[in-house]
Amino acid sequence: MVDRRYPHVSNSSPTPCQMIRKGAIAWQAFRSDSDVAIDLSNARLSQLNLRGLDLSGVNLRRSDLTQTKLVSVNLAHADLVGCDLTQVQLNEAKLQGANLLNVVGHQLDVTGADCTESNWVGSELQGFKAVGADFGFANLRGMEWREANLSDASFHGANLGRSHLSYANLRGANLADCAAVGTVFYEAEFQDAHLYRTNFTGANLVRSHLVQVYGVMAIFDQGLLLGADLSWANLMRSSFVGADLSHAVLRGANLSYANLQGADLQGTDLQGANLQGADLRDVKHLDLANLEGVNRSQIRWS
């Protein structure tokens, strides 16, 4: 509304979209004075530098954030459903409890970000980078993060079920108590990852690289591990019931007290592995496996 006495002066309140462009101090003052929920849904915020802003709880649904710098921004419990996050920088951002359902884009960077308890269901991100990010207890079901760089990231207690992480870099990542049921990790890199009690039931780990992982009590039941490399992995008390381990490499692996009932061991390389107390009932093609130097004490055959 324009004051008729002063045609160039507007009496209307500034909009959130206007205020967010004025910088951190003006934005914080605007937030402090606002007594209603801030709505930035469908806003065009591309190519802005919003470093360090407090956007916690803000509605950003379907906003265009392409090429926006959101370094160290507080987006805790914010609504980013359906946003385009192409080339967005979210390094060290706070995304606890944020809703990123069905977000899309490529080259999103959340390195070092706190994404605990956030929701990424159905997200499709190409060239995603999340080195050292924390996704503890996050909901990541059904997402497409192929070729993502997730090295040293934490997924403790997260749900990765039915997702696609082919060719992903998970070197040194923490997936303890993570649910990855039916997830595709084709040719993924897991070296030195922490897989304590991770549930890989029915997962596709074909030709994946799991050298020296800590997989105590991990579950690989009905999983596909054809040609996977698990050399020197600690898989004590892990479960491979009905898993396809054909042509997998388990040299020097610790499989003590592991359950391999009904697993396919055709061409499996177990040279020097520790199978003490392991359950090998009904395994397939054991005669075609390399068992040179294997510790067979207390193995359960029937």
Residues 104, 194, 241, 252, Cα dihedral to 10°:
130
Q: How far is CA 71 from CA 23, 67, 89, 91, 186, in A?
A: 14, 12, 6, 5, 32
Give the mean pLDDT of 253-275. 98
pTM score of the predicted model: 0.93
Q: So what's the pLDDT on residue 162?
A: 97
Residue 241 lies in a domain: yes
- Give a yes or no: residue 293 inside a domain: yes
Expressed in angstroms, the distance from the first to the final Cα of the chain is 85
Task: Judge whether 120 lies within some domain.
Answer: no
CA 273, 185, 282, 238 torsion-angle sign: positive
**Main-chain dihedrals φ then ψ at residue 29, nearest 5 degrees:** -65, -40
Instruction: Compute the 3-state secondary structure of the chain and give helix, strand, coil in percent, each to the nearest 5.
Output: 5, 20, 75
Q: Is residue 132 part of a domain?
A: no
Compare 181 and 24 and report the one with higher pLDDT. 181
In whole angstroms, give the CA distance from residue 169 to residue 5: 64
> Which residue has better confidence, 10 or 6?
10
Q: For residue 178, tell me if it sits in a domain.
A: yes
Contact 20, 44 (CB under 8 A): no
Domain that residue 239 falls in? 140-302
Q: Is residue 287 part of a domain?
A: yes
Task: List, in sequence order, every residue forming a beta bridge with 172; answer none if it has no partner.
Answer: none
* pLDDT tens string 164-217: 999 999 999 999 999 999 999 999 999 999 999 999 999 999 999 999 999 999
Q: What is the pLDDT of residue 42?
A: 97
Write out pLDDT tens, residues 127-162: 999 999 999 999 999 999 999 999 999 999 999 999
The verdict on residue 202 lying in a domain is yes
Q: What is the CATH number of the domain that holds 245?
A: 2.160.20.80
Tell me, what's the pLDDT at 11? Answer: 53
Query: For 29-68, how does the pLDDT look when each residue is reduced to its tens digit (9 = 90+)?
Result: 999 888 778 999 999 999 999 999 999 999 999 999 999 9
Q: Tell me the three state secondary structure of residue 45.
A: coil
Tokens coding 131: 């080195």
Cβ–Cβ under 8 Å, residues 41 and 60: yes
Instruction: Check whether 2 has a pLDDT greater than 80.
Output: no
The whole-number average pLDDT for the span 279-285 is 97
Given a cut of 60, whether residue 10 has pLDDT beyond it is no
* Average confidence (pLDDT) over 8-31: 82
How many independent structural domains does the chain possess? Answer: 1
Q: Out of 7-11, 92-96, 200-204, which region has the weakest mean confidence (pLDDT)?
A: 7-11
48 part of a folded domain? no
Q: What is the pLDDT of residues 205-257, one digit of tens each?
A: 999 999 999 999 999 999 999 999 999 999 999 999 999 999 999 999 999 99
